Structure 1
Amino acid sequence: MKKSILFVIDSLDVAGAEKSLVTLLNLMDYSKYDVDLQLFAHGNLLEKLVPEEVNILEPLKYTAFSKLGLPSAVAHSFAQLQLHMLSSRLRYSFRIRRNQCSNPQKARIYWESAANVIEQNNKAYDIAISYAQGVPTFYVAAKVNAKRKIAWVNVSYRLDEYEQTFQKHYYNHYDKIIAVSDSAKEVLAETFPAYKDKLAIQYDINNPNFISEMAELGEGYEDSFDGIRILTIGRLARQKGYDIALDACKRLKDEGVHFKWYVLGKGPLQAEIEQSIKAKGLTEHFILLGVKANPYPLIKNATVYVQTSRFEGYGIAIAEARMLNTPVVTAKFDAVYNQMVDGKNGLVVERNALDVSEGIKRIVQNEELRHSIIDYLTHEKKGNVEEMNGFYELINSS
């Protein structure tokens, strides 16, 4: 008999955890597993890459309600004589706008506001997996019936005491808590020392054959620019260090480097970043491309891939650049040396505009170094589909 598995994630937007899950789903053996997928936001780009064997569940009632415009939501609530969803939505909106909140705080406030109106999943699963920290973790803990529950943590998860106390109640319901890198596990052990025996590592799975094939399909750069192409991929959020990237970009421009710096991503800082681009006179140099379901032609044809993140659980976009033999310049973060060999497959620099810009110049101006890095990338191990064995051990263990 097939094992039944539920995966839960916020959405399948174009980001690291989402791409990791889509890759995993495309490698699973569906002769042995029945798989459901619950999303909290629907209609995002990576959904089209989910294999047909996966049953994407209908939107939760509150998820569907939250997509309504406020006038429609109010009219719907009064017409149905059901004001509880409207009350939850307004409560969340009011609390989230009152203060600037971190991602863990936003997830907690969302759950505190909406948990009472989010329905149970009454199906009995063998395994339920929250594939991201925050709301998916709370949902699987409180609303799902499963013999075993497994929580994924895709970032270096440092929490203040209040958030630790709140989240501990939910992690108590899990049999295993999975970190995606050694350093992420160390941070988890510091944050939740009581769960030391529950912690395990499962690296994000990267399939080089899939990425190589995708790099030959779809659209690349649509301009006719003939200079240095710098690429960064990541949500437009503080975590990704776009303030550092913009200052590095300004330094390169002022020094007369012939380049364009392209960014794939969207997020809460988009308006702020757009204002900064104009204020710094970088309209022709720092170019926001939005999101693409297939970023791989752009990665393959970039001169250099740059990551300025303040923290990452692993750094999937860096791994993808490496698989496509694109040199990397990355700022230091907790997990960076899980895949980077400084001076070999790219450069690891301090997280400031001067060092980032100097690292970029070293790669694009030093032909010997650049060719050495590309040669190293060409011959280094590609991907880690063998990590599926570890995943199967995890879900098949008692």
Structure 2
Amino acid sequence: MKKILFVINTLGRAGAETALLELLRRLDAEEYEISLYVLLGQGEMISQVPQRVHVKNKKICTASVLSGAGRRKLIQTSFLAFFRHGRTIKKMQYVIQNFFRMKKTGNIQPDKLLWRVISDGADRFSETFDLAVAYLEGGSAYYVSDHVNAKKKAAFVHIAYGNSGYTREMDRDCYEKMDQIFTVSQETRRHFLEFYPEYEKKVQVFHNILDTDRIAREAQLPGGFSDSYTGIRILTVGRLAYQKAYDIAIPAMKKIREDGYEARWYVLGEGSERNALEKQIAELGLQEDFQLPGAKENLFPYYAQCDLYVHATRFEGKSIAIQEAQTLGCAVIASDCAGNREQIVDGEDGLLCTLTPEGIAEKVEELLDDPKKRERLAAAAKQKMNGQTEEIWKLLNLMK
């Protein structure tokens, strides 16, 4: 029986983690011995890992890394990683050197700085795997590259690399040791190859796998919007993070209301930007109109019940949220950026907008004025998702 190890940074409620869980569900337990190692040892989606998958962590903290308890656990893990397996001074030198590189660019991202330290301080396993898969950039890629014994190694890239904050100095040639690199879209592949042109022959597109039948079933379960609002509902799903550009969506909602439209915008997710966004919402008097209900375990009833899905982000790899919205027949508006434009044919199965308050508001108002166009775009999006293809053999063929 072939032995496969998957490594991921956390199992928080996010797109890459959702895609990994679906991939794990598809693997044949009678043919493959499947293991999973969560680098930080935490994440609220651990309960969704299939029972046949062997979780290598001795303990898993189920608190989200975005919660108070989760952040405390994250700090503890990062601190201990400096001292596990020795080389403490070298780890500190790595952090300091890359901190000053980040400072020069004006883009300091502490989480990116610590992935190498966390990887070097993580558990080690003596067994040899037939295939080891780093399912995210950063920590899991460093860990599989440097600390896993495997006959074949693969890495997934889910982001537009140029916008991610990673650098070649931080990566330290980790991708050199990978037999195959999978990107989740053509745009993601192009961005990655701008950083690593020498790996063109081993970079392949691997589209996220979605179980459209399961999504449709879970959309019918109890849940969804619980307020008494009866007007137009706009939905966005995603972490409360800078990448997701809610600071631009909020004034867009202000303009929509000033233009006389009756609608309410809901954002499902948690993140470090919550306090700043709540302050911005209050300053614009949008407490009722732009709401942050937090993360939800079953998102699908919300998609099914909304009138319009908006995904106006600064950059993307390939958005699981857009795919879920399309699967459930939502009319989608997305910002015209890498990743998003690969998922939407403007005017055929969704609309693309410029990432400004005026650009977002214009497209939202266009669809609020034209219910028939909303229906047409939604139907085309759903048809598109029903035609997705199986990707899993791209990965499994590495072991042949």
| Alignment deviations for residues 345-377 of structure 1 (CA, whole Å, 9 cap, x no partner) | 111111111111111111122123122223323
Question: Matches of 2:305 and 2:62 in 1, distance apart?
Answer: 38
1:6 alignment partner in structure 2 = 5
Match status 1:149 vs 2:148: no
| Equivalent residue for 1:396, pick from 393, 396, 399 | 399
Question: Matches of 2:384 and 2:205 in 1, distance apart?
Answer: 22
TM-superposed CA distance for 1:84, in Å, is: 2.9
Deviates more, 1:44-53 or 1:311-320: 44-53
1:37 alignment partner in structure 2 = 36
TM-superposed CA distance for 1:109, in Å, is: 2.0
Amino acid at match of 2:44: L
With the length of structure 2 as denominator, give the TM-score of the two structures.
0.86
Question: Matches of 1:84 and 1:4 in 2, distance apart?
Answer: 30
1:273 alignment partner in structure 2 = 277
Question: Matches of 1:206 and 1:328 in 2, distance apart?
Answer: 18
1:352 alignment partner in structure 2 = 356
| Alignment deviations for residues 106-145 of structure 1 (CA, whole Å, 9 cap, x no partner) | 3542145445533322221111101000111111111111
Question: Matches of 2:254 and 2:395 in 1, distance apart?
Answer: 44
Question: Matched residue of 1:268: which SS?
Answer: coil
Residues 349 and 25 from structure 1, CA distance in 2 versus in 1: closer, same or farther, beyond 3 angstroms? same
Residues 91 and 293 from structure 1, CA distance in 2 versus in 1: closer, same or farther, beyond 3 angstroms? farther
Question: Matched residue of 1:158: which SS?
Answer: helix
- Confirm or deny: 8 A CA contact 1:61 1:118 kept in the other structure: no
Question: Matched residue of 2:188: which SS?
Answer: helix
2:258 alignment partner in structure 1 = 254
Residues 11 and 117 from structure 1, CA distance in 2 versus in 1: closer, same or farther, beyond 3 angstroms? closer
Question: Matches of 1:102 and 1:233 in 2, distance apart?
Answer: 28
1:338 alignment partner in structure 2 = 342
1:213 alignment partner in structure 2 = 217
Question: Matched residue of 2:236: which SS?
Answer: strand
Match status 1:374 vs 2:373: no
Unaligned runs of 5+ in 1: none
- Confirm or deny: 8 A CA contact 2:99 2:113 kept in the other structure: no
TM-superposed CA distance for 1:195, in Å, is: 1.3
1:22 alignment partner in structure 2 = 21
Amino acid at match of 2:227: D
Question: Matches of 1:122 and 1:306 in 2, distance apart?
Answer: 47
Amino acid at match of 2:399: N
- Confirm or deny: 8 A CA contact 1:45 1:292 kept in the other structure: no
2:66 alignment partner in structure 1 = none
Question: Matches of 1:83 and 1:343 in 2, distance apart?
Answer: 51
- Confirm or deny: 8 A CA contact 2:233 2:266 kept in the other structure: yes
Amino acid at match of 2:188: A
| Equivalent residue for 1:304, pick from 301, 308, 311 | 308
Where in structure 2 are the equivalents of 1:209-248 lying within 5 Å?
A: 209-248=213-252
Q: Percent identity?
A: 30
- Confirm or deny: 8 A CA contact 1:60 1:118 kept in the other structure: no
Residues 31 and 289 from structure 1, CA distance in 2 versus in 1: closer, same or farther, beyond 3 angstroms? same
Question: Matches of 1:97 and 1:285 in 2, distance apart?
Answer: 40
Residues 139 and 51 from structure 1, CA distance in 2 versus in 1: closer, same or farther, beyond 3 angstroms? same
Q: How many residues align?
A: 386
Residues 239 and 383 from structure 1, CA distance in 2 versus in 1: closer, same or farther, beyond 3 angstroms? farther
Question: Matched residue of 2:173: which SS?
Answer: helix
Deviates more, 1:240-249 or 1:164-173: 164-173
Residues 181 and 259 from structure 1, CA distance in 2 versus in 1: closer, same or farther, beyond 3 angstroms? same
* RMSD of aligned alpha carbons: 3.4
With the length of structure 1 as denominator, give the TM-score of the two structures.
0.87
Question: Matches of 1:104 and 1:48 in 2, distance apart?
Answer: 33
| Alignment deviations for residues 231-266 of structure 1 (CA, whole Å, 9 cap, x no partner) | 111111111111111111111122232111111111
Question: Matched residue of 1:45: which SS?
Answer: coil
